[in-house]
Homo-oligomer: A and B are copies of this chain.
Amino acid sequence: GFGKIETATDDIRTAIEDADVIMVVVPATGHRFIAERCAPFVTSDQVVVLNPGRTFGALEFMHVLRQQRVRGRPTIAETQTFIYVSRHTDFTRARIMQIKNSVPLAAIPAHRTPGVLDMVRTALPQFVAATNVLETSLDNIGAIFHPTLTILNAARIESTHGDFEYYLEGVSPAASKVMESADSERIALGTALGVHLHTAREWLYLAYASAGSTLYDAIQATPGYKGVRAPSTVAHRYIFEDVPMSLVPMVSVGRQLGVKTPTLTSLVNLASVMHEKDFFSEGRTVDKIGLGGKSVRDIRMIAVRGGLS
């Protein structure tokens, strides 16, 4: 459909003044920047929705506001994934291929999730309630699929410029074992933090009704993956966004809680080497979102209630 845009501006104050809901639709690497710019102007009766938050986006946004010691205490929410399957086609256009049927959303504090949903569902009825932002943050299947596939097909991406079937050829039995191992580490983090997550295989079944006794079989049985080509370069958001903003926070919280993440750590290491970056230091670590040194109980208090009692 079509809608009239009331205001287009690069002035953050104008953009957010008098808005009921501020929806932030940027790569997760931009969340901190947006939070810093919004901080002086946001009010306590506003709602900020990160669409999506990747891993711990809402927690980082809240932490930045509090660090700036501003008076506004908006409700911060995040979605588990982006609501659109879309690509930008040139600098001024985007193409929406699909609107997802159902996208979980959670607010901090979690008891405000229903209120946020009431506001945003007038425009976007696809949003549904998640338990809390730990669930939306960790039920991040893209974080498991994207970097693993890009790293394990790096040479093929570079020597063919992405001219192969990303899922149907890029996911082989060996590659899918790495994805399953990374996924099981993600599930273990959820267990440690008291949230029930979906495995990648369950998610494929829920999203695409594709079943299989292994992740490899389930991916090969997903017709929607047919025709999806690989990215043409390894300098892609599948690395630059998913590694620092999803894998790094997972590894970081795992280290703190004593949950072993050798596969996720190995993927971060190899991505760092391939891109000559230290994603561990660039990425979203527990220290950068105010969770450094906190216990499971305290992390849950912050994520679910918005702070320590």
Contact = CB atoms under 8 A, between A and B. Distances in A.
Contacts of A175: 154-155, 158, 274
Contact of A172 (B159, B263, B265): B159
B152 A171 contact: no
Contacts of A154: 152, 172, 174-175
Contact of A174 (B149, B181, B234, B269): B234
A276 interface: yes
Nearest to A159: B169
Q: Is the interface of A mostly helix, strand, loop or mixed?
A: helix
Nearest to A175: B155
Contact of A263 (B178, B234, B270): B270
Interface of A: 149, 151-159, 164, 169-175, 177-178, 181, 234, 262-263, 265-267, 269-270, 273-276
Most B CB within 10 A of own CB, among A169, A270, A274: A270
Nearest to A233: B174
A127 to B, nearest CB: 35
A286 B146 CA distance: 36
Contacts of A158: 172-175
